[in-house]
Structure 1
Amino acid sequence: MKKWFSGRISLILPGLLLSQYGYAQLTLGAQLRTRTELRNGQGAPQPLGADPAFFTSQRTRLIAGFSAYRIKLGLTVQDVRVWGQDASTLNRTTTPDNNGFMLHEAWAEILLTDTIVKNKSLSLKVGRQELVYDDSRLLGNLDWLQQGRRHDAAVLKYESRDWTLHAGAAFNQNKENASGTIYNPVPPGNYPANTNGGNAYKSLEFAYVSRKLSKGNLSFLFLTDQFSKYHTDSVEHVAVKVWETGAYSRMTTGLFYTQQFNRISYTAAAYHQFGTNGNGQTVSGSLLSGSFMYNVSKAFTAGAGVDYTSPDFDPLYGTPHKFWGNMDYFYVASGFGNKGLQDYYIKTKLKPGQRWVVTGDVHEFYAASAVAGMSKQFGTEADLTANYTLTKMIGLEAGYSHFWNTATLSSPSVKNIKNAGSNSNWAYLSVNIRPEFLIK
C-alpha cells in the first residue's frame, strides 16, 4: 500500500505544481551517447610505426525544459568521459583535467510581448546556452564533440513570419573579483576554447538578421570578439603568458544564402574578418563558400561544392566537422600552419529505406597560400557514414574515413609530423539513446 501511494504521489505532484501556471508544460529528457573509435591518424598523420588508438567515450545528459505564460526555462547537465578514465571503486582524488561533469545549458527566455500577439515576438534569453545560426559554420553547438559548445550570454530576439533579428553579448570573468576585469582565457582540462585551438574570448557581441525567401533564406551576421592582452615573462627560464588589462578586438561580418529551385538546392556564403586576433596580430581574412545538391530521385541526392578560407581567417565558434572532412584535419585542435584552405568536394546521400541514411563524401584539400618549395596540395579524404534508426529513441551510427596525405601536409611549416605515413584512417561506432517525456 505504501509503495502504491508513493508512486501515485510522484505522478500527481508535478501535475499539481504545473496547474498553478495554467497551460504550463514540463519536458524531461536524457541522452546516452557512446562512441567507440579506432584512430590511426585522426586529426593529423601518424608517424610511421605508431600504434593506433582505441577507446570508447560517453556523453550522458539529463535535460529539462519548462514553459508557461511568457517564460521558458532550459537545463542540461552533462557528463563526458572515456570508459576506464575513473577507478571502478570510489575515487577520492579528483583530477581537474579529466573532470567531465558540467552544466551544459541553464537559461531562461522571457517573452517581452504578450503571447496573443500573432506572428511577432520579442524575447530575452539569458544564461548558458547554445548559439546556432545558419548552417553552423561560424556559430554552432559543435554537437559532434562529446562536450559540445555553449556560451554564457544574453540574446535579445525579435521574430516575425519573415524576419529574425537577434542581438547578443557575453562578458567572461574567472571569478567574482574585488576589482579589475583581467581574464585568464586558458580553459582547464584538455579541450581547446575555440574552433581553431585558440584561447577563450573575454567578451563577444553579435547582430544577426535573417529574411525568409519563397524557398530559401538570406542572412547577415556581424560579430566582434575581444581577447585578453598579455605579455610574455620568464618563470624559471620558461616563457609564460601574463594576462593584463585591455583587450584585442576582432570583427567578422558577411552574408549567408540558401535557395531551393526544383530539384536543386544551393548555398553560398561570404565573410570578411578584420581587426586584431588573440595573439595581438592584425588580421584581414575572408571565407568564400558555394555548393549545390541535386535530388536525383527520392532516395538519392548528389552534389558538389568549394570552400576557400584565407590564412588570416578563423571560423570562430562553428562546427568544422560538418564541413572540412570527418577526420578533423583542419580548423580543429590540431593546427596546420596558418596556410588557409581550399576544399573541393563531392557529396552523396542515399536513403535505401525509412530507417537508413548513408552518406559518402570525397574532399580534395589544398593550401590557400604558398608552402615554401612544395606543392599546395594537402591530400584527399574519403568519408563513409551510415545511420540506422532502430526506434524513435534509439539510433545507431557507423563511419569510416581514409586520408591520403602529401609531404606538404606533414612538412614542418604545416602539421610538422616527422617521418609521417602517407595513409591514415579512422573508424567509429556510436549508439545514441534519447528518451523524452512531456508532462502537461
Structure 2
Amino acid sequence: MTRVPAISVLSTLLVGGAGSLPAQQDSTRVTWSGEVRVRSEVDARTSGAATDHATLLRTRLGALATLAPTTRAFIQVSDSRAFGEEQNTLTDASADRFDLHQAYLEWSPGAVRVRAGRQELAFADERLIGPVGWANVSRAFDGVRVTWTRPPGTVDLFGAVLDERAALLATGLDPRQNSLAASDRAVVGAWATSKSFDLFLIVDRNATEGAVSEINRSTFGGYVRRTLGALSARGTFAWQAGRQLAVNGQRQDLAAFLASAAATYGFRGALKPAIGIQLDYLSGDDSPGDRRYRAFNTLYATNHQFYGLMDLFLSFPGQTGGLGFLDLMARGSATPRAWTLRADLHQFRLAETGPTGGRTIGVELDLTAARRMTRGFDVQLGYSRFSAGAAGEVAPIGLGPDRLHWGYLQGTMQF
C-alpha cells in the first residue's frame, strides 16, 4: 500500500473536485490498495460436454481516507471479466461487471467501531458468512456493522438490506408512489468472538429460495477452536428454526442443523508435513412437502473452501434437492522449499436416501500448489477430479456418469 497526501486526491475521489478542501483536512491521508488477479481454467466439469478453456480477470482499486484517528472512509471499485467476453477489441467498452464493491464510513470512538455502507462481512472460518474471495465476483453487503472490542473478545452486531422492494429512489423520491406491497429482504445478526470459541445468531427476514418464499429463519450456534501442541482442532454447530411458505402452499416449521469437526496434526521436519481430517454434516429432508422442513441452508458461506474445490456443491439445500449432505475429507500437506503442496480427498454422500435408493454422490480429489514469488505476487495451480456414485449421476445431483476434471493456473498481485 502507498500513502500519498490527500489534498489533491481526496478532492477528486470523494468530492468530485468541487473546490478546495478546508484547512482542517490538511492532515488527511489516503492509502491506496489494489489487486490484479488472472486465472486460466481448463473446465471439464459437465458430463457429456466438451472441455472448455476460459481465463478470468479481476481488477480492484481501493482508497482508504483517514481524516482523523477515529474517522475513516474506504472506497473500492472492482472489474470482473472473462477474456474475450466483449467480442470486439475496439467497439465494446461497456464493462458489464464493473461495480462499486465496497464503500463505507468508519467511526471508531474508544472500544466501539461503527462501519456503515457497502462492505464485505466475514466471521470465523466463513462457514456461514463470508465474501467468497475465490469467485471472480465476490460478495458484499449493504448495511451497518458495529464492533465492540474488550478483552477477552469482541462482539459484532450487523444488519444489511439484501433486496429493497419498495424504494423511494426508484419512484423519483415521491412518497405517494412508494409501494408497500412487498417487504424488504434483510439479514441481522450478532457474533461474539473469543480466543477459543464463538457464539452467533443470524436472522433472515422475508428470504426466498427458488419457489420457496416468506422465509423467516434464525440460525444460531457456536464455533470452537483449540490447539494442543502439534494438534489443532475446530468445530461448528448451527441450528435453524423459523417458518417458510413451501411450493405447495404449506406453512412449514424449520428444524435443520449443521455439524462440522476438523483436526490437523503437524509433524516436525524441513517439509513441515501435516495430515488432517474433516467431517461435515448438513441435515436433509426426504419429505419436503409436510409441515416440518429439515434441510439446512448454508446462508452466505464461502462454500468453495469446504465442499470440494471443483465447486460442484455451492448452494445448499438447492443442489442436493433438500436431501442434505455428508462430506468426509482427508488432507495431506507439505512445504518443500518455497512451495505449499496440498492434497484433499472428499467422499460425498446424501444425508437422506435419494430417488435411486442410494446415498453415494461420489469422490473428489483436489491437488493444489502455491508459492509466493515476490512481495505481493502469488502463484497457485491445481487439478481436481470427480467420480460419481449412483446418487451423484441422477437427479437431484445430476452430475452424470462421466469422470469430471478441472484445472487452473492463477497469478495474483496485490499492492
1:34 is aligned to: 38
Alpha-carbon contact 2:216-2:243 (below 8 Å) kept: yes
Q: Aligned partners of 1:376 and 1:409: how far apart in 2?
A: 8
Are residue 145 (structure 1) and residue 135 (structure 2) matched?
yes
> CA offsets, 1:373-406, max 9 Å, x none?
4321111110011111111121111010000111
1:391 is aligned to: 374
Specify whether residues 24 and 263 from structure 1 end up closer, same or farther in structure 2 by C-alpha distance, changes over 3 A only: farther
Displacement after TM superposition at 1:408 (Å): 1.2
- Which residue, out of 385, 399, 406, partners 1:426? 406
Displacement after TM superposition at 1:173 (Å): 1.2
Q: Aligned partners of 2:92 and 2:324: how far apart in 1?
A: 45
Alpha-carbon contact 1:18-1:25 (below 8 Å) kept: no
Report SS of the residue matched to 1:390.
strand
Q: Aligned partners of 1:263 and 1:228: how far apart in 2?
A: 43
- Which residue, out of 232, 236, 241, partners 1:265? 232
- Which residue, out of 263, 276, 280, partners 1:307? 280
2:90 is aligned to: 89
Alpha-carbon contact 2:356-2:391 (below 8 Å) kept: no
- Which residue, out of 96, 108, 119, partners 1:111? 108
1:274 is aligned to: 241
Q: Aligned partners of 2:389 and 2:28: how far apart in 1?
A: 59
Displacement after TM superposition at 1:91 (Å): 2.2
2:336 is aligned to: 352
Are residue 136 (structure 1) and residue 126 (structure 2) matched?
yes
Alpha-carbon contact 2:33-2:61 (below 8 Å) kept: yes
Specify whether residues 293 and 181 from structure 1 end up closer, same or farther in structure 2 by C-alpha distance, changes over 3 A only: farther
Alpha-carbon contact 1:272-1:286 (below 8 Å) kept: yes
Specify whether residues 314 and 277 from structure 1 end up closer, same or farther in structure 2 by C-alpha distance, changes over 3 A only: farther
2:261 is aligned to: 290
Q: How does 1:332-411 map to 2 (within 5 A)?
A: 332=315, 335-353=319-337, 355-411=338-394
Displacement after TM superposition at 1:372 (Å): 3.3
Q: Aligned partners of 2:330 and 2:226: how far apart in 1?
A: 19
Are residue 170 (structure 1) and residue 160 (structure 2) matched?
yes
1:219 is aligned to: 198
Specify whether residues 145 and 19 from structure 1 end up closer, same or farther in structure 2 by C-alpha distance, changes over 3 A only: farther
Stretches of structure 2 that go unaligned for 5 or more consecutive residues are 11-19, 285-294
Displacement after TM superposition at 1:358 (Å): 1.2
Q: Aligned partners of 1:168 and 1:352: how far apart in 2?
A: 42
Q: Aligned partners of 2:320 and 2:240: how far apart in 1?
A: 19
Alpha-carbon contact 1:173-1:181 (below 8 Å) kept: no
Specify whether residues 159 and 85 from structure 1 end up closer, same or farther in structure 2 by C-alpha distance, changes over 3 A only: same
Q: Aligned partners of 2:125 and 2:357: how far apart in 1?
A: 34
1:124 is aligned to: 114
- Which residue, out of 322, 329, 340, partners 2:312? 329
Specify whether residues 19 and 307 from structure 1 end up closer, same or farther in structure 2 by C-alpha distance, changes over 3 A only: farther
Q: Aligned partners of 2:368 and 2:209: how far apart in 1?
A: 43
Over the residues paired in the alignment, what is the CA RMSD in angstroms?
2.9
Q: Aligned partners of 1:18 and 1:59: how far apart in 2?
A: 36
Q: Aligned partners of 2:328 and 2:209: how far apart in 1?
A: 38
Higher relative contact order, chain-length normalized (CA < 8 Å, sep 6+): 1
1:46 is aligned to: 47
Specify whether residues 357 and 183 from structure 1 end up closer, same or farther in structure 2 by C-alpha distance, changes over 3 A only: farther
Tell me the matched-pair count. Answer: 375
Displacement after TM superposition at 1:305 (Å): 1.5
Specify whether residues 382 and 80 from structure 1 end up closer, same or farther in structure 2 by C-alpha distance, changes over 3 A only: same
Alpha-carbon contact 1:23-1:69 (below 8 Å) kept: no
TM-score, normalized by length of structure 2? 0.83
Report SS of the residue matched to 1:27.
strand
> CA offsets, 1:13-66, max 9 Å, x none?
56998995587542112111111111111xxx413xx20111111111011112
Q: Aligned partners of 1:374 and 1:229: how far apart in 2?
A: 30
> CA offsets, 1:79-118, max 9 Å, x none?
11111111211227x5xxx8211011001111133xxxxx
Displacement after TM superposition at 1:153 (Å): 0.9
Specify whether residues 277 and 141 from structure 1 end up closer, same or farther in structure 2 by C-alpha distance, changes over 3 A only: farther
